[in-house]
Amino acid sequence: MATEMTTQASSRFGVKRLAWIIGSAIFVGLCLRVAFAATPKIVTDLSNVIALSLAFAGLVVLTHYLGLLSLGQGAFVGVGAYAALHVVNDFGAPVLWMPLAGLIAGTLVGAVVAIPSLRLPKAYLALLTLSLGVAFPIILKQVDGNLPVTLDGEFIAPSWTGIAENDEHIWELFLVAAYASIAIFLVQGLLRGPIGRAFIASRDQPEAARAFGIPVYRLRLFGVALSGGMAGLAGGLLMVPTNFNDYTHFPEELSIKMFALAMAFGGSRLISAVPGALVLIFLPVWLIDRNWVVEYGWVGFVKSEGFIYAALLLATAYLTKGRGFMSLFESRAPKPTLKPSNRRVTSVVRGLVELDTQLGELEGLVAKQSDSRSREETND
Amino acid sequence: MSLFLQRTFDSLANGSAYAALAVAISMVFRSTGVLNLAQGQLAMFSTYIALVLATGPSPYMKFSSNTDLIGAAWPVWAAILGAIAISMVIGAFTERVIIRPISDNPVAAVGATLGLYLLLGAFVRKQWGGRTMFLGSPFPQTAEDRWDIGGARLWHDSVGITLTMIAVLGLLAVLQRRTKAGLAFRAVTSNRTGSLLVGIRVSRVLMFGWALAAGIGALAGGLIAGEINVRPDMMGRLLVFGLAAATLGGLRSPVLAFVGGYLFAFLETMLGGYVSFVDSQVTLVWALLVLIIVLFVRPSGLMPRTEAWQQK
């Protein structure tokens, strides 16, 4: 029985993996097609979507894995963008290091915000991050001034890529996609392992998690720093296609919109970060294309970005109880009880099940024997 | 010394606004456990209501035809009182329609308050536009309306705003300690299940709490509008200081939140005035840094430590 279940599970896993590989290959093919065929504007927008997906994935980690609220994700993205530009402009670092500078800066700021706020109830993190979201554009304006800061460097594709010199947007898209894929791969691995399970345990049963030896405070701190780092990396990646930064790029509304979208589309999987990034980038373009932004009065109100985001947030709160619309599509089928990922555990469980079967058979034999013995006694 | 005195006096009006918002936030958090992030926007919206009442039908307003019902322009104090009444109804409505159905899920509730935040911002921008408007102060505000104390000028409207806020806090204390409604509110904030068991209508009390918080926010908006003028983003900065002040009060003590509001305003003015590298535009940042440091050193803020840890 146990062997059968394990075989079934492994064959299902194999099919799933194959589907993933085929899906990824099709996706990469599509991306290549779009990168070489679409206009530079669309390619740049796609680069921004990929970069922002990372920031949304950070919010998914925080909100859906740890049950914490960050209302300053836009500020973390801004911190990453600032660090990325200045590490090249002021320290002469190679342009390819920009995203790494964003990652480090975002992680550090995340940790600084998390250390004091996580010692208190969860609301304090929301409060401090919101404050950071409001304060960040003011800080940036003070530090960088009113004028945009432009990158002192450029992304030139190596000759082996075959990308023409004036098609740098294609090379930038590949760079952003490569960084984002590596980051998502690492974070996904992290979330599937013991750390991801500890995140969920600390979210659902913090006291029980503490009793099992999980350091809940340190784990949450790590989660916030990870989320900040992902947003910082997103900021660094945003600077790859954009090449300039100023204080108007990261207003407080950006953080609130990001939270709204992460809440609305965020399921328990990192892939749910993509729709949020798509809406954030393409909704304003769509509204401008329809000339809705210039309408006033009641009609203008209903057609405004603020109304759309507010409706999305309220609908998420009511219809999904804050879990997000993607969670409605996640399968709720009960998982097989025997599915340990560790080989040693599998063999132990299999041995135990076999032992249980043998014991059952032995009990049957003993019962049969005692039954025949008692019958003999009755006959006597 | 006179400069120090002047800066202290200057911090009074802002301190009153921060204190009022902080009190409103801690009242809602204390009773429902929901961090009302729309508190600032609610206050901003009620300031626009006061503006409509005070201005009367105006060709500069997008919905001027709707103001015919109001008739002639009201005095500023009457307009603020009218806005408080309307805001209290909006606050009660918000609790009943938006928050109560999802109050068992804090993430959804915070999301709903953010939805309200965006909704009010969008509404005000589309109805009144983004430009600055003038409401005026309910207190005398001319150049002669001041007292000269120790070489510093104490403006009548600053004193009026401060005294009004202190009076409101006093009234709130009396309401909580001397009336049945206040007793019920205290019981609900202390033990909701116990309150239900002794027959208190908890939902009604919570609605009352939200209405009261919205009214206090409206008062803050109306009073400070004479200082900072009316525009859609007028409450962003005030909300951050209000939240910070509420934090200093441990998010649950209106009295400490009130004190925190004045402390932050004092700190803001002094940092901007005495520290050369702190521009008046970035005092917000330094105040936030101070808040982070305070939370590092004393996580419970001004609250006694035992009470703060009980909240965890």
Total residue count of chain A as it appears in this document: 380
Alpha helices, DSSP H, located in B94-201: 106-128, 156-178, 180-190, 192-197
Residue B113 near residue B37 (C-beta atoms within 8 A): yes
What pLDDT is attached to residue B55? 80
Highest mean pLDDT among A62-66, A356-360, B139-143: A62-66
Chain segment A225-261, per-residue pLDDT in tens: 999 999 999 999 999 888 888 888 888 888 888 888 8
Rounded to whole angstroms, the Cα distance separating B44 from B17 reads 12
Rounded to whole angstroms, the Cα distance separating B251 from B244 reads 9
Strand partners, A150: A244
Quick check: A205 pLDDT over 60?
yes
Residue A245 φ/ψ, nearest 5 degrees? -150, 140
Segment A299-319 mean pLDDT: 83
3-class secondary structure, A253: helix
Residue A303 φ/ψ, nearest 5 degrees? -90, 5
Rounded to whole angstroms, the Cα distance separating A265 from A327 reads 8
Question: Is the CB of B289 inside 8 Å of chain A's CB atoms?
Answer: no
3-class secondary structure, A91: coil
Question: Do the domain assignments include residue B240?
Answer: yes
Chain segment B192-222, per-residue pLDDT in tens: 888 888 888 888 888 988 898 899 889 988 8
What pLDDT is attached to residue A236? 92
A291 contacts: CB under 8 Å, gap ≥ 6: none
Domain harbouring B262, CATH code: 1.10.3470
Whether residues B121 and A306 touch (CB distance < 8 A) is answered with yes
Rounded to whole angstroms, the Cα distance separating B39 from A101 reads 36
Tell me how many residue pairs between chain A and chain B have CB atoms under 8 A apart: 155
What pLDDT is attached to residue A226? 94
* A14: number of Cβ within 10 Å: 10
Question: Do the domain assignments include residue B141?
Answer: no
> Over chain B, what is the mean pLDDT?
81
> Over chain A, what is the mean pLDDT?
82
Question: Is the CB of B62 inside 8 Å of chain A's CB atoms?
Answer: yes
Rounded to whole angstroms, the Cα distance separating A82 from A84 reads 5
Question: Do the domain assignments include residue B139?
Answer: no
Whether residues A131 and B121 touch (CB distance < 8 A) is answered with no
**How close does chain B come to A133, measured CA to CA in Å?**
10
Chain segment B89-135, per-residue pLDDT in tens: 999 998 888 888 887 777 788 888 888 888 888 888 888 877 788 88
Question: Do the domain assignments include residue B11?
Answer: yes
3-class secondary structure, B270: helix
Share of chain A above pLDDT 90, in %: 18
For tokens 């005092």, name the residue: B283
B5 contacts: CB under 8 Å, gap ≥ 6: B149, B150, B151, B152
Rounded to whole angstroms, the Cα distance separating B301 from B42 reads 26
Quick check: A380 pLDDT over 50?
no
What pLDDT is attached to residue B309? 44
Distance of CA B15 to the CA centre of its chain: 10
The angle subtended at Cα A176 by Cα A171 and Cα A181, nearest 5°, is: 125
What pLDDT is attached to residue B62? 46
Whether residues B300 and A120 touch (CB distance < 8 A) is answered with yes
DSSP string, B220-268: HHHHHHHHH-B-TTTTHHHHHHHHHHHHHTTTT-HHHHHHHHHHHHHHH
Question: Is the CB of B311 inside 8 Å of chain A's CB atoms?
Answer: yes
Q: What is the largest CA-CA distance in chain A?
A: 109
Whether residues B111 and A131 touch (CB distance < 8 A) is answered with no
Q: List chain A residues with CB under 8 Å of B243.
A: 127, 130-131
Residue A138 near residue B284 (C-beta atoms within 8 A): yes
Identity of residue A299: V
Distance of CA B268 to the CA centre of its chain: 17
Strand ranges (DSSP E) for A92-158? 149-150
Identity of residue A276: G
For residue B41, the enclosing domain spans 2-134+151-310
**How close does chain B come to A320, measured CA to CA in Å?**
9
How many structural domains does chain B have? 1
DSSP string, A103-157: HHHHHHHHHHHHHHHTTS-THHHHHHHHHHHHHHHHHHHHHH-SSPEEPSS----
* B149: number of Cβ within 10 Å: 12
Of the candidate ranges A104-118, B24-38, B112-126, the one whose mean pLDDT is the lowest: B24-38
Question: Is the CB of A204 inside 8 Å of chain B's CB atoms?
Answer: no
Give the one of A63, A71, A139 whose C-beta lies nearest to B282's C-beta. Answer: A139
Quick check: A333 pLDDT over 70?
no
Question: Do the domain assignments include residue B144?
Answer: no
Q: List chain B residues with CB under 8 Å of A121.
A: 251, 311-312
What pLDDT is attached to residue A267? 65
Look at B294 and A94; give whichever has higher pLDDT: A94
| Strand B146-149 with B152-155, pairing | antiparallel
pLDDT band at B72 (very low <50, low <70, confident <90, very high): low
Share of chain A above pLDDT 70, in %: 86
Strand partners, B146: B155
Rounded to whole angstroms, the Cα distance separating A82 from A87 reads 9
Quick check: B305 pLDDT over 60?
no
Look at A340 and A204; give whichever has higher pLDDT: A204
Whether residues B279 and A142 touch (CB distance < 8 A) is answered with yes
